[in-house]
Structure formats: structure tokens, C-alpha cells
Structure 1
Amino acid sequence: MSDAYLEERHHQLRAQVRAFAELKVAPRVADMEHTGAVETELATAIAQQGWIGVTIDRAYGGMGAGHLAKTIIIEELSRISGAMGTVAQASQLGVAKIIHFGSERQKRIWLPKIASGSCLPTIAVTEPEAGSHVLGMQMTARRDGRHYVLNGCKIHIGNSHIGDIHGVIARTSEGSQGLTAFLVEADRPGLTLPPPRRTLGLHGFSFGELHFTDCRIPVGNRLGREGEGLDVAYSSSVLYGRPNLAAVALGIHQAILEQTTAFASERVRYGKQLHHLPNIKIKIGQIQSRVMTARLVAYHAAHLLDSVGKDQASPDCGSQLESTLPNTGAGCDAELMNAKLINVELVLDSVRTAMEIHAAAGLMDDIPIGRYLRDAHHIFAPAGTSDIQLLRLAEAALGQSKGQWSQRLSAALSPRPGPAPPL
């Protein structure tokens, strides 16, 4: 049923990404696991394929292929390496902030560079005292003439040590309207990065801290208006972060299924292949069912995200958020939240099932099931834990949602190929 959402271009894209992942990424996985070092060469190679620009309009040099295509790219990379799939998904959050809130000048400067692979964007929201509680943010941005001066710390930033342009949310005043978004180049004086720490999983992925000490940036680096930072953070998380992480989980899930079926076919017990044991066959059936369900939910959500903006006339909504966008079509915020919830919970269930099938063999480094277990746990917290998704889904059921980002920013969501305007 999930294939019902796919066109021939999606199948061709999957074959292209799978070939790249198996040829270029797979040989580097063992080294990434052994050293834990940030893998910059593969990240650059992925970006140079143009895949970070999959949702960028062709007018800015992007693929203009939409969110379902993005899901397939992230899934196929994650099937071979959760770390490299996460490189692609984390950069997409950086893309989102510019697409939806960037000025025309900012789009023309940065989107072609991102689309060509010469620039990796990030988004920097989380702080030591403010994870999902975005309003607890303490980092400050003080206006000083034609500049802002940034002070504070961001943590758990995807692609922190390989990013070229950071989308930073900082506090310009008190309250919910006191957050503002900025573009901060990685080489700005006053921005420093402590050495990356080794993590439980996703070895090769950069997941570090950004420290700002009197970091001056021009006013032209502000994204949108003062006070729109909360909108930038929330919309990027809902429209990109949640479906992207669902795609990472889905790729890991598919790898778990393939590894486990191969193991059960190769391992012999009581004179027969392991999968002949009824309890093993049932467990494999559980994993297969979960993968099918997870893929259907992820593809459905991405398809809706591509579809919700197709009736919009203008491809550029900029930061005109409150009053200028018509609300045509149904939003799909709940489906995006559910995609992350279902994919994360099911992959965690399946990796435990797979560990039970592998038994002691699953504890050995030469079998990747332990890597899948560690990588899967990294997908749980970003863009909201499962409890956060359930709270938001409950609000949707109770009619308590505060609007839908997929409607408010729909004009720039659907695939929109077209000729490039003069720069």
C-alpha cells in the first residue's frame, strides 16, 4: 500500500540513493563505529549529490522534489548508516528556516549554495535548561545599532561541527514574543565549538555545542521579524524535524528486518535454519508488520505535506505568517507528529525483538544489531519525545490545537519545479 504514494521518479531516486549508500557509505561504517570521529567527507559527498536541496525550489537551484522524496533519501541513507541519514535530516531543518522565513535576499544567497552542496545549514534551538521547553531559552541577542550581539550556549546541535550556517534562536526580549531567529556563519568571531563528545550511537554524526561570546552579526542576518523565533523553531520541528526523524527510524527499521531475516536464515539450530522455530518465525512476523505499518504512516504523512500546498498560487510566503496566507486544504500536523511517534516506538520494539532472536550473537561487534539498537535510541528525544507527540495528538483530538503549521506555511511546501528567475 505504501507504494501507492510513489511515482516512477521516487523509485528512480531510491535506486540512486541506495546505490550511493551501498557503494560509498557502507565501507566507512566500521571505521565510524571504531573511531567515533565526525565523518566530514561522507557528509560533503551526500551534500554534493544535491540531496540537501531536495525541498528547495528549482528557482534557487534545488531539486524541487518535495517531502516524500526527502523521506526516501533519508530512509535509504539510514538503512546503511543511521549517522549519515541523520546528517541529511538535520540539514533539512536548516533548510526549512530559510525557505519559510528567509527574505528574498537571504534565499538567493544561501539556498543555491545549500542546493549545490557547498553549504550545510543547521538549526540551533536546544539549550542546557531548555529542551522541549523552548520558552525557557536563555541565550540573548542584544541589538547594537546595525548589529546584534549574541551570548549564550546551544547544545545537542545536529551537524554542529560541520555546519556552515547556523540558524540560531535567541531571546531579544521577555515572553513568548521575545524570541528571534538569526543566521550565524560558522566562522563568525565569538562563536566557538568545544570538541565533540562521544555519544551512545550515531557514530560519525556531529551532535555538539555552540558557544557564543559577544558574537556580532549584522541586522541583515536576522530571519524574519523580531519576535518570530518561536515560529521558526516550532514550524521547523513540526514540518521537517518530525517526519525527517520518522524517515531515519524507518531506514534503521528496514536494516533491522534485513539483518534479522538473514541471521535467521543462516543460523542452524536442531538441524534446521533458525527461522523454522515457530517462536522465531512469529518474532520475524512482528518485525515485518511493524516495518510495513511504519512505512505506511511515514509515507502518508510526507504525501500529505507535499499535497497541502498545491493549491497555493505563490511559492514564496516569506515570513508573512498571520494574515496573508489563505488556509486551503486540510493541514497534516497531526499526521507528521504521529509519523514520528509510530516510527520511533515501533523501531524500538523491533530492535528489542531482533536482539532476542540474535541472543548472545547480538552482543558481538561484528553483527550490526547492537549498532541499530544504539542508533534507534538517538531518534527518541529530538523534535519532542513520544510523550510530547501524544500530548499534541491529544490536543488535536480535543480541538485544542493552536493552528496548523502545514496550513500556515503551505505555499512553500509542495514540490514546485520551474525555471530559475534572474539573480
Structure 2
Amino acid sequence: MPASHVMPSEESADLIEVVRDLADGELAPRVAKAEADEEFPREVFRTLGAMGVLGLPYPEEHGGGGQPYDVYLRVLEEIARVWSGVAVGTSVHVLSCFGLAGFGTDEQRRAWLPGMLGGDLLGAYCLSEPHAGSDPAAMTTRAVRDGDDYVLTGAKAWTTHGGHADFYTVMARTSDDRRGISCFLVPAGTEGLSADPPERKMGLTASPTATMRFDGVRVPVERRIGAEGDGLRIALAALDSGRLGIAAVATGLAQGALDHAVAYAKERSTFGRPIIEHQGLAFLLADMEAAVQSARAMTLHAARLKDLGLPFGREASIAKMVATDNAMKVTTDAVQVLGGYGYTRDFPVERYMREAKVMQIFEGPNQIQRMVIGRSLAGNTSSAITALGREKH
């Protein structure tokens, strides 16, 4: 049974219905083959772009959809319910637009943002490095000023859409200071920019992930986003929003696994009745439903804080941790519900289980989320409820 949503407007409710129809009608029939063949569905992103999905949470004046973040996340969830690789790709594209949208000049936004949000272009985000994943301040990719250009040299690992994207938002070191990192918008096809062969992954196999190589890549100064040294601040702010994207994807993935498990449990009979009527299995499904609902509630709570302009970093980490840990548990239990069939590729739950694992790793592994949450508890941070209460008065 698909998730029910209480949407903030009739327009957003219609949007969810359109996306759900697309997921069920167009994505579902092709996902298994595309994932098995490791075939990147570029045309699916063009379709989503034409629908306005790739720019949903950004302002209409720049070509975006002007939707609240909580609406955008529910769209991601509906896509992930059927094809999490496409949902991850959508989240990564939205993340790759964040630096320009939030920190670019008016001139930069007018020049490039409409094309990035309009659906024709697909973005990628280059932050992690082979030896600097969870510690981005340790990156070694450098950008050296040379007249009116910067020259980028180094490598960026784990790049979703690597080799397929139309533009890359890249963080590179511009000084030896640990925080001396800057942000650049690099078009695909720039001389010296290349992609390694895609990683051979356990899941999300239709979503290419590759190391990007920067061999003397020249980028004009006007393609630097923000001032020199702003890159780490941009990256960390982007990750707060990106974690909500992954939380929504994980919630949708778990919902899809739960839907398949419930449908199977209603059809499969033992001892003269459907297995869903046996208490042991009914309790397992109930726990799965509670896990999905709690992940959704936490994710939307954090999104609403963001939409109100309130601090949401701690809540984003909680949402990412809860949703992805729950997705791993729910998909594992879905395989258990189907028994031996769940372990075969004749049913999608084994794929959901493989895909859930990486959700606990990217956008900061869940051990890092626990560090973020713990440090926030140790600090003197005001409560969002108090802040909202003051605004109401």
C-alpha cells in the first residue's frame, strides 16, 4: 500500500500523483533490466527535468519549481519507492546546484542556474577524495590561480554521474590552510577533465559512480562560486540538505520493500490461511511499518525546520541516520518475509536490500552522523521550538 501524504497545497498533491504515476507506469517496468545490465537511464532524467523535478526546491525566478523542501523530499520518496538509483541521481543533481543557488552572485545565477534547473543539464558533486572522504578538509585536489583562470589538479572519488554529467561542482584547495578550500563550477568536456571506469558496486548498478581526474583543468575565475576559502562552508551547508535527500530516498526504498512484503504475505498461504494472518509474521510487518513511518516523520520534521529558515543540521543528521538504518532493517526483513524467494532475483526485495547498504555510507556514514549529533548535544544550541515560538510572538 503506497504511503499517504498530507500535502501543503492542491498543487503539491497533484505533483505527487503525477510522480507516482510516472514511477509506477514508466520506471517500474524497466528498473530490473536497467539495474541488471548496469545501464544508465539518462533519458529518465530528461523526463524528470521536463516535469520540473530536477529544480523543485529552487526559486521559480531561476527556473526552479519554487516548492518547499518537504514537498521535494516526498517526490524523492515516491521515485525511490520504485527506483532508488534514479532518486539518488535526482538528489545528487539538486545538491550540485546548491552552491551556485546559495552562494553565487546574481550575475552567475542568471547566467547558469536556469540551464541547471531547467532539466536539460545533469549535475555531479565532487567533494570526496580517495583518502579524504569523511574529512573533506584533508583534500589534496588543488586549484592554483593563473591569471584569469584557476588550474585544477587532482582526483575526486565516488562521483555519482561521473563521466555522464553536464557540469561538476568541485571543491579544491586554494591555500595550504586546512580550511583553504574553494568551490568551482566546471563544465563537462573541459580539457583535462576525465572519468575513470565506473566502480563495480553491490547496488545502484544503473547509477554510474566514478573517480574524476583533473589534469591541469583550466577554469575561468568567474566560475569560482563564493570567495576563495568559502568552499568548505558551502560543502558543509550543502551536505545538511543532501542528507535530507538521502533520508527521503532511504524512506522510499524501505516503503517499496514493505509494499512488496505485504503483497506477498497476503497472497502466500500456509496452514490454510495467508501468512500475514500468522502473528509472528504480522508483528514483523508491523515493526517494518513503524520503522518506515518514523523515518518519514523525522525526515519531514527536519525539512520543515529548513523551510522555516531555522537551524536543521542536527535534525538532518538524525533523519539520515534513522532513515538509512531503518531502510537496512526493513529491506532485510522483507527478504525474510519472502523466504527463499526473497533471496532470488525474481523478486525486487533482494535488490532493495543491496541498495539500502550504501545509504548508511554516503552523504557521511552514520558513524559521522552520530558524531555530529553528539557534538550538537554537547554545545549550547537553542531549540527550534523556542525559536519558532519567539517568531510567533
Instruction: Give the TM-score range, shorter chain.
Output: over 0.9
How many residue pairs get aligned? The number is: 382
- Per-residue deviation at 1:3? 4.8
1:334 to 2:311 alignment: no
> Which whole-Å CA distance do the structure 2 matches of 1:56 and 1:289 have between them?
32
- Per-residue deviation at 1:4? 5.6
Post-superposition CA distance 1:358-378 (Å, at most 9, x none): 221111111011010011112
Structure 1 counterpart of 2:112, from 110, 113, 121: 110
Matching residue of 2:173: 171
> Which whole-Å CA distance do the structure 1 matches of 2:177 and 2:107 have between them?
29
- Per-residue deviation at 1:340? 0.6
Counterpart residue identity of residue 300, structure 1: H
1:214 to 2:194 alignment: no
Contact 1:2 1:299 in 2 (8 A): no
- Per-residue deviation at 1:33? 2.1
Secondary structure of 1:181's match?
strand
Matching residue of 2:268: 267
Counterpart residue identity of residue 363, structure 1: Y
1:372 to 2:373 alignment: no
Matching residue of 2:77: 75
Post-superposition CA distance 1:46-85 (Å, at most 9, x none): 2222111112211112111121121011111101101111
Matching residue of 1:61: 63
Secondary structure of 2:81's match?
helix
CA RMSD of aligned residues (A): 1.9
Following TM superposition, where does structure 1 have runs of at least 4 consecutive aligned residues deviating by more than 3 angstroms?
1-7
Contact 1:135 1:176 in 2 (8 A): yes
* Greater relative CO, 1 or 2 (CA 8 Å, sep 6+): 1
- Per-residue deviation at 1:355? 1.8
- Map 1:31-42 → 2, pairs under 5 A: 31-42=33-44
Post-superposition CA distance 1:76-107 (Å, at most 9, x none): 11011011111111101111111111111221
Post-superposition CA distance 1:159-190 (Å, at most 9, x none): 22321110100111112331111010011000
Post-superposition CA distance 1:319-350 (Å, at most 9, x none): xxxxxxxxxxx412111111111101111111
Counterpart residue identity of residue 217, structure 1: V
Structure 1 counterpart of 2:136, from 134, 139, 143: 134
Change over 3 Å in CA distance of 1:383–1:400 after alignment to 2: farther
Post-superposition CA distance 1:393-417 (Å, at most 9, x none): 111111167xx9xx9xxxxxxxxxx
Contact 2:7 2:71 in 1 (8 A): no
Contact 1:36 1:198 in 2 (8 A): no
- Map 1:218-237 → 2, pairs under 5 A: 218-237=220-239
Counterpart residue identity of residue 109, structure 1: A
Contact 1:32 1:204 in 2 (8 A): yes
Post-superposition CA distance 1:219-252 (Å, at most 9, x none): 11111111111111111101x2110000100110
Counterpart residue identity of residue 368, structure 2: I
Matching residue of 2:370: 390
- Per-residue deviation at 1:282? 0.6
Matching residue of 1:283: 284
1:91 to 2:93 alignment: yes
> Which whole-Å CA distance do the structure 1 matches of 2:323 and 2:80 have between them?
13
Secondary structure of 1:378's match?
helix
Counterpart residue identity of residue 303, structure 1: R
Secondary structure of 1:205's match?
coil
Change over 3 Å in CA distance of 1:101–1:78 after alignment to 2: same
TM-score, with structure 1 as normaliser: 0.87
1:194 to 2:196 alignment: yes
Matching residue of 2:328: 348
TM-score, with structure 2 as normaliser: 0.93
Secondary structure of 1:26's match?
helix
Matching residue of 2:28: 26
Counterpart residue identity of residue 305, structure 2: L
Secondary structure of 2:237's match?
helix
Percent identity at matched positions? 29
Structure 2 counterpart of 1:52, from 27, 51, 54: 54
Counterpart residue identity of residue 278, structure 1: Q
- Per-residue deviation at 1:261? 0.3
Post-superposition CA distance 1:264-320 (Å, at most 9, x none): 011111121111221101100000111111111111111111112xxxxxxxxxxxx
With 4-13 and 258-267 compared, the bigger mean Cα shift is at 4-13
> Which whole-Å CA distance do the structure 2 matches of 1:361 and 1:14 have between them?
32
Contact 1:5 1:300 in 2 (8 A): no
Matching residue of 2:390: none
Matching residue of 1:411: none
Secondary structure of 1:138's match?
coil
